[in-house]
Amino acid sequence: MSLLSSELIWWITVIDVPALSGLFVLIWRTRRESEQAIRHLREVVETRNSQLREGLAAFKLEVAKNYASITDMRELEVRLVGHLLRIEAKLDKTAMKTEALGAWRGRDRHPGDHK
Protein backbone atom coordinates (compact mmCIF):
# COMPACT_ATOMS: atom_id res chain seq x y z
CA MET A 1 0.00 0.00 0.00
CA SER A 2 2.84 2.35 0.60
CA LEU A 3 3.92 1.71 -3.00
CA LEU A 4 0.50 2.73 -4.25
CA SER A 5 0.39 5.77 -2.11
CA SER A 6 3.92 6.84 -3.11
CA GLU A 7 3.07 6.41 -6.81
CA LEU A 8 -0.12 8.35 -6.27
CA ILE A 9 1.77 11.13 -4.48
CA TRP A 10 4.38 11.17 -7.26
CA TRP A 11 1.60 11.35 -9.91
CA ILE A 12 -0.15 14.20 -8.12
CA THR A 13 3.11 16.07 -7.56
CA VAL A 14 4.61 15.64 -11.02
CA ILE A 15 1.52 15.65 -13.28
CA ASP A 16 -1.64 16.95 -11.62
CA VAL A 17 -0.31 19.98 -9.74
CA PRO A 18 1.58 21.47 -12.73
CA ALA A 19 -1.37 20.74 -15.07
CA LEU A 20 -3.85 22.38 -12.71
CA SER A 21 -1.47 25.30 -12.17
CA GLY A 22 -1.17 25.76 -15.93
CA LEU A 23 -4.94 25.67 -16.32
CA PHE A 24 -5.34 28.20 -13.53
CA VAL A 25 -2.83 30.57 -15.21
CA LEU A 26 -4.59 30.18 -18.60
CA ILE A 27 -7.99 30.89 -17.07
CA TRP A 28 -6.64 33.89 -15.15
CA ARG A 29 -4.99 35.39 -18.29
CA THR A 30 -8.09 34.81 -20.39
CA ARG A 31 -10.24 36.53 -17.79
CA ARG A 32 -7.85 39.50 -17.56
CA GLU A 33 -7.72 39.86 -21.38
CA SER A 34 -11.51 39.62 -21.59
CA GLU A 35 -11.92 42.35 -18.99
CA GLN A 36 -9.45 44.57 -20.89
CA ALA A 37 -11.30 43.95 -24.16
CA ILE A 38 -14.63 44.77 -22.53
CA ARG A 39 -13.18 47.96 -21.05
CA HIS A 40 -11.81 48.98 -24.46
CA LEU A 41 -15.13 48.26 -26.20
CA ARG A 42 -17.01 50.25 -23.57
CA GLU A 43 -14.73 53.25 -24.19
CA VAL A 44 -15.19 52.95 -27.96
CA VAL A 45 -18.96 52.72 -27.63
CA GLU A 46 -19.09 55.72 -25.28
CA THR A 47 -16.90 57.76 -27.64
CA ARG A 48 -19.00 56.89 -30.68
CA ASN A 49 -22.19 57.54 -28.75
CA SER A 50 -21.04 61.04 -27.82
CA GLN A 51 -19.96 61.68 -31.44
CA LEU A 52 -23.37 60.59 -32.71
CA ARG A 53 -25.13 62.79 -30.18
CA GLU A 54 -23.03 65.79 -31.23
CA GLY A 55 -23.73 65.06 -34.89
CA LEU A 56 -27.46 64.76 -34.26
CA ALA A 57 -27.48 68.03 -32.32
CA ALA A 58 -25.64 69.76 -35.17
CA PHE A 59 -28.10 68.36 -37.71
CA LYS A 60 -31.08 69.49 -35.65
CA LEU A 61 -29.57 72.96 -35.47
CA GLU A 62 -29.03 73.02 -39.24
CA VAL A 63 -32.60 71.93 -39.86
CA ALA A 64 -33.91 74.58 -37.49
CA LYS A 65 -31.88 77.27 -39.28
CA ASN A 66 -32.35 76.29 -42.91
CA TYR A 67 -35.76 74.71 -43.33
CA ALA A 68 -39.19 76.29 -43.23
CA SER A 69 -41.38 75.81 -40.20
CA ILE A 70 -44.79 74.15 -40.36
CA THR A 71 -46.56 77.46 -39.80
CA ASP A 72 -44.68 79.03 -42.72
CA MET A 73 -45.71 76.12 -44.93
CA ARG A 74 -49.35 76.48 -43.87
CA GLU A 75 -49.33 80.20 -44.64
CA LEU A 76 -47.82 79.49 -48.06
CA GLU A 77 -50.46 76.82 -48.74
CA VAL A 78 -53.27 79.23 -47.82
CA ARG A 79 -51.83 81.90 -50.14
CA LEU A 80 -51.41 79.43 -53.01
CA VAL A 81 -54.92 78.04 -52.62
CA GLY A 82 -56.32 81.59 -52.61
CA HIS A 83 -54.47 82.47 -55.81
CA LEU A 84 -55.57 79.24 -57.48
CA LEU A 85 -59.20 79.87 -56.52
CA ARG A 86 -59.02 83.39 -58.01
CA ILE A 87 -57.48 82.01 -61.22
CA GLU A 88 -60.20 79.35 -61.40
CA ALA A 89 -62.90 82.00 -60.96
CA LYS A 90 -61.38 84.11 -63.77
CA LEU A 91 -61.21 81.07 -66.04
CA ASP A 92 -64.86 80.29 -65.30
CA LYS A 93 -65.85 83.87 -66.17
CA THR A 94 -63.82 83.74 -69.39
CA ALA A 95 -65.39 80.41 -70.37
CA MET A 96 -68.88 81.78 -69.73
CA LYS A 97 -68.14 84.94 -71.76
CA THR A 98 -66.76 82.85 -74.61
CA GLU A 99 -69.83 80.62 -74.55
CA ALA A 100 -72.16 83.63 -74.52
CA LEU A 101 -70.21 85.27 -77.36
CA GLY A 102 -70.40 82.06 -79.40
CA ALA A 103 -74.15 81.84 -78.83
CA TRP A 104 -74.60 85.52 -79.77
CA ARG A 105 -72.56 85.09 -82.98
CA GLY A 106 -74.51 81.99 -83.90
CA ARG A 107 -77.78 83.86 -83.50
CA ASP A 108 -76.69 86.80 -85.70
CA ARG A 109 -75.48 84.63 -88.54
CA HIS A 110 -77.54 84.42 -91.63
CA PRO A 111 -77.62 81.29 -93.78
CA GLY A 112 -75.53 82.97 -96.47
CA ASP A 113 -72.70 84.31 -94.18
CA HIS A 114 -69.35 82.53 -94.19
CA LYS A 115 -67.37 83.91 -91.32
Q: Which 3-state string (H, E, C) describes 52-94?
A: HHHHHHHHHHHHHHHCCCHHHHHHHHHHHHHHHHHHHHHHHHH
Kindly calculate the radius of gyration of the chain based on its CA atoms and give it in whole angstroms. Answer: 47
Residue 74 sits in the same domain as residue 86: yes
Number of domains in the chain: 2
Largest CA-CA distance found in the chain, in angstroms, rounded: 149
Q: Domain range spanning residue 84?
A: 68-109
Query: What's the rounded Cα separation, in Å, for the pair 38 and 30?
Result: 12
Answer whether residue 115 is part of any domain: no
Mean pLDDT of the 72-85 span: 94
44 and 20 within one domain? yes
Render pLDDT for 39-63 as a digit per residue (tens, 0 to 9). 999 999 999 999 999 999 999 998 8
74 and 38 belong to one structural domain: no
Asked whether the beta carbons of 41 and 33 are under 8 A apart, the reply is: no
pTM of the model: 0.47
Work out the pLDDT band at 2, boundaries 50, 70, 90.
low
**Residue 30 — very low, low, confident or very high, per pLDDT cuts 50/70/90?**
very high
Residue 51 lies in a domain: yes
Same domain, 10 and 63: yes
Do residue 4 and residue 16 come from a single domain?
A: yes
